[in-house]
Amino acid sequence: MNEKILLNSIFSLNKIAVVGMSANANRPSHQIGFYLRKQGYNIYPVNPNYNKIDELKCFSDVKEIKDSIDIINIFRHPDHVLPIVNDSIKINPKVIWFQDGVVNCEAIDLANKNGIQTIVDDCIYKRHKVYINST
């Protein structure tokens, strides 16, 4: 699938769980989560350290989210992503997006074996900017 078709299909999805989202406005996970929200996406912060991030309810893990989630966007160290992918499989997202530097081959293989599209070691913000500038 070419990149434009892939980006069109991913960015047509609406519900994004941002795993590892920080309440600190200076952190990339916070900035990107709220950027996506301003672009019209429904954002679900996931971080067990917070009850809320700004005005948004924060979930302790992806299984706690009651809505169906389209994209799991992971901002966690690669050593911590396998349990996130295991939990994600249970809620059946269409895409798991591993942010820049988040590469865990076992987790990626597991997601792919379960029919989940993966984007690896890439930034959803940067790709979204490419997407909106090409449409």
Task: With residue 17 as reference, give the H or E element that holds it.
Answer: strand 15-19
Report phi then psi at 53, rounded to 5: -125, 115
Give the model's pLDDT for residue 67: 96
Give the model's pLDDT for residue 20: 98
Residue 133: pLDDT band with limits 50, 70, 90: confident
Give the model's pLDDT for residue 1: 57
Contact 82, 107 (CB under 8 A): yes
Q: What is the pLDDT of residues 109-130, one digit of tens each?
A: 999 999 999 999 999 999 999 8
Q: Which residues lie below 8 Å from residue 16, measured CB to CB, with a gap of 6+?
A: 36, 41, 42, 43, 44, 69, 70, 71, 72, 73
Compute the residue count for the chain: 135
